[in-house]
Each structure stands twice: as structure tokens, then as C-alpha cells.
Structure 1
């Protein structure tokens, strides 16, 4: 009996040891991620991002291309609107491209280092590595980390849960507010490490011309119209900062058509302009960054003592100008979506 007991103990010890060999601990994973973030040469990821910040969930298809040292291409498709916008970083700078409108904005920026996003693998790795108060759980063929969320545009997002597969590639991310509610969900369905890219994969003109066939057909039908001769269907923001009110509104005629100008005065004064979208390729020698609004991507710029946030939505170009922080400007911009036309 004693001999059998010893045999059982030895078998259990071996089984326990083998089981432990398959699972990594938090310390080892953090070390591996730190090393990978420095050595990763390239990757392609794809998935679905869902935002729960508005009245209804908003879905984006997200595809990311990355090539060391600083090349990024992020294609964001608004599933409901069937519109694609591209965030691009190459040797010439950072761009926000809207291919179906032939719009291109280039500006000085340290994006994405200054404002990482939930769909970027580097952001997720750095969030895990940098948070000394991280929480860790090992599951079956996956690892879960709970770390602080650091998204400067939305201070209400406080925590993120990150799931990695057994190869430490991203599977899913939940970003929560202070009440523990999921506000952003990112689900990855594909991840390929170390792919090779075409020589012009991160070229601005190639990406500006990259349109699906159905979008090309829609644009072809619209080319016969002359929207610049039609009046702008103006929208009033649903959110106005406390102590600020509408001073006046006027419509002026510009070479590109009518422009509606709304001036707000008070504690946080600003001007909101609206016009028909124009094909434009702008290169601005000022600091800025792309801002992900609830329904589209905006461009935020520092212009001396003023800040500017511009975006395009539902066939209208919007521009917000004022001495307001980016968080406040973002809130005003988000309040224009799905507002009734005046």
C-alpha cells in the first residue's frame, strides 16, 4: 500500500508540473510583451469595434497594417453608413483620408504614440506592461489582463480588460467607465504577425484611391449633381457648454458654395461652420491629431490661441473653432450627429 501511495504521489507531481509548463504567469507574459513590442516588425489585424457611447451601438470594421518603424494604415468602416476612412502614417506625416470624397488632411503629429487606440496591438501591449497594478487571470488557451484605460479624449473610460490568445496576440478588449459599464468593445477575428507589404502599401495616393466598387458607383451617380448650388441643411449642436449661447447665425456665399456660420458667445465661445464637402488635399504645418468621433473621424489642430476640430458627416463639412479643450470640442461635435435639420 505504501508503495502504491508513493507511485500515486509521483504521478500527481509529474502531472502538476506538466500542467504548469503549458500556462504562463503574469510576470513572464509581461516580459514577453515588453520584448515583442520592441522587436515586432509588422502585423495585420482585423476585427469589429462597437461603441456604446451613443443612444444606439455603433459598429466599425477595423483593419490595421503596421510596419516598423512608424508606418500605420488603419481603415475604419462605419458599418451602418458604409463609409471608409483611413488613418495613415508614412514618411510624409500623419493623414486622415476620406477616399469617397477625395479628402486628404496632413498635419504634424506624434500619433499614435500620443493617443493610442484599442485596435492597436502596441497600445494594448504597452497598457499591460506599464500598469504596475494590473490584474491577471489565466484561462484555457487565453490570458486576461485588467489594466487602467488611458484615452485622453474620453476621461470617462477608466478600465480595460484585454484578452490575449495562447500566442499573446489580441482576442478581445472591453473598455469600461467608472460604473463598470462596457463603453467600447473590440473583437479581433484575424491577426497575422510579420507579413510583407507592397512597396506602396502606405503611399498616400494609393490609399486615397482605394475605394470598393460599390462606393465608386455611388460617387459616379452623384457626380452629375451640383450640391454647391443647393442650400446647406444646417444642424444645431445638441450640447452647448454651460454659460454659452448662440449669438447669431448667417449664411455667406463662398467660391465653393454657401457656408452657414453659427457664433456662440459666453464662458466658452466658439464658431461652428457648415458647408457642402469639397475635394481637398490640405497640408498644414501645425500640430494636430486624428480624433475618433462617434460617427466619423475628425481632425483636431492647434492654431495659435485657438483650436480647430473639423469633420465630415452626412454630406456636410463641419468646422469648430474656439479656445476650448479637445474634450469639450469632441462633446459638441458628437452632439451634432442625428440631430434634426433646422
Structure 2
């Protein structure tokens, strides 16, 4: 009888140790993480990213290159929207942060702490950061599954993130869920290189614009396609007024919504410029389902397929404005 009890106790101890190693043993992770942070000078990654909003999904080819040069972090992020074959670039260099739209020959220049201002599922440092906070690490045969609840500043409905790392802590995939367990973002990494040779010219804004314009996709939106409406939005508001006006030889469409929530959507069709246009703007860069936008003074501004959208509200949060933007109709490739 005593032998049976001892045997049972030993089995339980073995199981407990195994469970501990699977879910709580992070010694190997911490050592690998510390080694990466000491030695990481450059990296290049590529991924397929799906931004999901109900039945609507946007697919992006993402390419990120990073270089630390004399304690300055440089980034080049390419987001290619596969549905319209148009690319946006985000470049951080010693002069600031730039968002390039090659199809329009347009550049926005920002000040700020991007990309460290909020978690990013395609920035390696952001993923590594989830290994340091409150999280659950499950050790698997081929790596680690990390579950956490990061605070996405401009996407408050995103409440849970799962990251799959290889044993080397190379990223394999990222899944982000809302509070109801719906998958909102899916990133699948297809390439990851640590400490490749990276030329500083890769972060030159003018060089990037010149090269990107050689393969820039064509804008397919036409004036007769406007206005476009928010159709998949969880806000308590109805269309109160719809106006078309001419300002400085530009046709402007204004949609005013009223109800428990009030907001206004202003749209206009942009034309490609022969000369590169650079605008210095204030505000915060935001990740949208349709690419990159920026928020300042209660206005969310972004461009998709040649249409500039400005969404304004005195009462809605930036997260709610982003939800409206993500629910807007679009003109896809014809």
C-alpha cells in the first residue's frame, strides 16, 4: 500500500514538474531574450498581415527593416495592400518619421515616438516586449506560445494577443483577438534575418519615394464613386445631412451623422502630383484596416486608393473614429 502511495506521489510530482516547465519555466526564454537585446543591431522581416473587420478582410504584404546606428533606431516599414496593389511606407530616420504614399507622390512628416508609442504586431521589438510583462508562456516542441493582454492605444477592442516564437525567438505568427474572441489581426511571418548588412541609404526618404514610384499601383477611384459611406460600424448614429461643394476647384463631399454619437466624414479625390509634396503635420500615426492614418485635434485623416478621408467628432474617441474608418466603403481594383 505504501509503495502504491509513493508511486502515485512520484507520478504527480513528475506531472507537476512537466506542467511547470510547459507553462511557467522561462529561464531559457530570459537568457535568449537577453542575448538578443545585447546583440541585435539590424533585422529584416517579411510577413503576410490580415486585418479583419467582420466579413471584410484586408491583406497586406509587410516588410520591415531595422538598424541601430549610434544608439539611434532607424526603421523602414512597407505595407503593400494586395487588393489595390498600392504601397505605403513608414520611415524613421534621424530627421523624424515619414509616411510615404507613392501612388500620389505625397509625404507626411511627423514628430513623435513611433513605433514605440503603442504595440505593433509587425515590429520585432514590440513582440519581444511582450516577454517582459504580464504574460503566459507555454513551452512547445518547436518554440514558445506567448499569450498577453497588451494595451493598444488606438484599438481598445483588441484585448488579447498570441505570439508564436521559434526556440531562437524568431517570430512565427501573431494573432490578436477582441473581447468576444473574434480574430482581428493575423500576421504570418515568412522571412526573418538577424543582423544582416543594412545600408543607411535604405532610410533615405527621397530615395525610397523614387524607387517606390517606379512600381506604384494605379489609383482606381473616380469622382463618380464618391461619396463612400460607413457601412460596418458599431455606433448609434444615422445620416442627417449629405452635401457636395466646391472649394478651391476641388469637389468636397460632407456626410453629417447624428444620434447618440455625432460625427462628420469629409471626402475628396486627390490627384497624383508631378512633384513630390511633403507636408509637416502634427498628430499621432494610427494603424487602420486601410493602411496608415493620423489623428490630431479630434480629426482622423487617412488616404485610401486616392480618396482622402477626414473623420471628425467632438465626442468620439480616436479608437471609435478608427472603427468608423475601418467600416468605410472603399473603391477596390476594377
TM bracket, shorter-chain basis: 0.7 to 0.9
CA distance in 1, matches of 2:204, 2:249: 28
Aligned to 2:288: 293
Aligned to 1:3: none
CA distance in 1, matches of 2:172, 2:50: 14
Structure 1 gap segments, 5+ residues each: 1-23
Report the CA distance shift for 1:97/1:129 in structure 2 as closer, same or farther (over 3 A).
same
Aligned to 1:321: 312
Aligned to 2:51: 51
Report the CA distance shift for 1:37/1:256 in structure 2 as closer, same or farther (over 3 A).
farther
User: Superposed, which structure 2 residues align to 1:258-337 within 5 Å?
Assistant: 258-265=251-258, 268-278=261-271, 279=273, 280-284=277-281, 286=282, 288-301=283-296, 303=297, 307-323=298-314, 324-337=316-329
CA distance in 1, matches of 2:56, 2:254: 29
Q: Which 10-residue stretch deviates more, 53-62 or 90-99?
A: 53-62
CA distance in 2, matches of 1:76, 1:27: 35
User: Superposed, which structure 2 residues align to 1:102-141 within 5 Å?
Assistant: 102-131=105-134, 134-141=135-142
Is the Cα–Cα contact under 8 Å of residues 237 and 339 in structure 1 kept in the other structure? no
Report the CA distance shift for 1:35/1:152 in structure 2 as closer, same or farther (over 3 A).
farther
Q: What is the aligned-residue RMSD (CA, Å)? A: 2.7
Aligned to 1:60: 60
CA distance in 1, matches of 2:91, 2:224: 33
CA distance in 2, matches of 1:187, 1:236: 31
Aligned to 2:15: none
Deviation at 1:64, TM superposition (A): 0.4
Higher gyration radius (CA): 1
Deviation at 1:141, TM superposition (A): 3.2
Is the Cα–Cα contact under 8 Å of residues 41 and 67 in structure 1 kept in the other structure? yes
CA distance in 2, matches of 1:113, 1:186: 19
CA distance in 2, matches of 1:75, 1:125: 21
TM (norm. structure 2) is 0.80
Deviation at 1:152, TM superposition (A): 2.1
Is the Cα–Cα contact under 8 Å of residues 290 and 298 in structure 1 kept in the other structure? yes
TM (norm. structure 1) is 0.78
CA distance in 2, matches of 1:312, 1:128: 34
CA distance in 1, matches of 2:81, 2:138: 33
CA distance in 2, matches of 1:339, 1:52: 17
Q: Deviations over 1:54-94 (max 9, x none)?
A: 31332211100111232111101111221111122112222
SS in 2 for 1:130: coil
Report the CA distance shift for 1:124/1:256 in structure 2 as closer, same or farther (over 3 A).
farther
CA distance in 1, matches of 2:157, 2:35: 31
Deviation at 1:214, TM superposition (A): 4.8
Q: Deviations over 1:259-283 (max 9, x none)?
A: 1123345554333211111444210
CA distance in 1, matches of 2:331, 2:212: 28
Report the CA distance shift for 1:325/1:34 in structure 2 as closer, same or farther (over 3 A).
farther
CA distance in 1, matches of 2:243, 2:183: 41
Aligned to 1:180: 181
CA distance in 2, matches of 1:146, 1:232: 43
Deviation at 1:35, TM superposition (A): 5.1
